[in-house]
Amino acid sequence: MKLKAYLARITSLVTVSLLASSLAYAAPGPSAPCADCSRGPNPTVASLQSRSGPFTVSTFSVSGYLRGFGNSTVHYPTNATGKMGAIAVIPGYLSYEDSIRWWGPRLASHGFVVITMNTNTIYDQPDSRATQLSRALDYVIEQSNSRSSPISGKVDSTRLGAIGWSMGGGGSLKLSTERSLNAIIPQAPYYAGLNRFNTINTPTMILACSADVVAPVASHASPFYNRIPDATPKAFLEIYGGSHFCANSGYPNEDLLGMYGISWMKRFIDFDSRYSQFLCGPNHAADLRISEYRENCNY
């Protein structure tokens, strides 16, 4: 009896310890939905694949010196009302802002404040890029709180998102285990070593490139997607024949990926269910540019 009691006690302690560990490492979740965040006309495939949305976009440059990230650009709508979600976009190893800059005007023209970034150095690893994404979001929030800023009063600090390419994609995944975000889009993500992606609560759309030899889909994008809990809204879009650069500025997939990326951010940062139709359903792979599409709708 004493042995049974001892074993029961040990089992209980182990269970409590594992539960405490799980809770300690639980990733922060997205903010609560808001009822009045949606803006803009009803979306269509044509409007989402267009190079510009319903809002006029302006920009200003940011010196990242002493701010914890590299020189960057803020893109913002000039004729959208109310507070908007903010999104930070970061490039990959050995790369610069121009590789991911196309996301800035695209997303801003649909009602987001977007900062497209350079990094402190082109050699920064994914964990450093996660920190820099966070600092860039903090900068945008600070600017919204400044009366002298072009984006004064434009940002809802509770509705944030991140996009990253390659090691920047790994950084966006890492950041979602550390900070409350409403949506992330890792594109051709690279992350080596141990991770806690199984704790991610942030809605995540992974953009993969089927012929990627730098961050092969089978060892990066696909297992990252599978590791994210099924309870978390997630999607996986793979570009047929795409190299590691398939989602970058100047490549032929901007219109297609813009439609999915805008829809993802609108659905989960603006809580706008009008965009679910472009993310859920059986016919995505009918587009010959898409070699695989996965999702866990309904959302």
Instruction: Specify whether 212 is catalytic.
Output: yes
Residue 162 has phi, psi (to 5 degrees) of -150, 145
Q: Which of 156, 212, 270, 272 is catalytic?
A: 212
- DSSP assignment of the chain, as one string? -HHHHHHHHHHHHHHHHHHHHHHHTPPPPPPPP-SS---SSPP-HHHHHSSS-SS-EEEEEE--TTTTS--EEEEEESS--S-EEEEEEE--TT--GGGTTTHHHHHHTTT-EEEEE--SSTT--HHHHHHHHHHHHHHHHHHHT-TTSTTTT-EEEEEEEEEEETHHHHHHHHHTTTS--SEEEEES----S---GGG--S-EEEEEETT-SSS-TTTTHHHHHHHS-TTS-EEEEEETT--TTTTSTTSTTHHHHHHHHHHHHHHHHS--GGGGGGTSSS-GGGSTTEEEEEE----
Query: Which CA distances in Å does 155 have to 24, 142, 292?
Result: 30, 9, 35
Q: Which of 166, 172, 176, 291 is catalytic?
A: 166
Q: Which tokens sit at 268?
A: 């989960």
CA atoms within 13 A on the CB side of 16: 6
Q: Which of 244, 263, 270, 272 is catalytic?
A: 244
Strand pairing report for 183-187 and 155-165: parallel
Residue 182 has phi, psi (to 5 degrees) of -95, -25
**Cα–Cα distance measured from residue 169 to residue 191, given in angstroms and rounded to the nearest whole number:** 8
Instruction: Specify whether 156 is catalytic.
Output: no
Instruction: Specify whether 127 is catalytic.
Output: no
Catalytic residues: 166, 212, 244
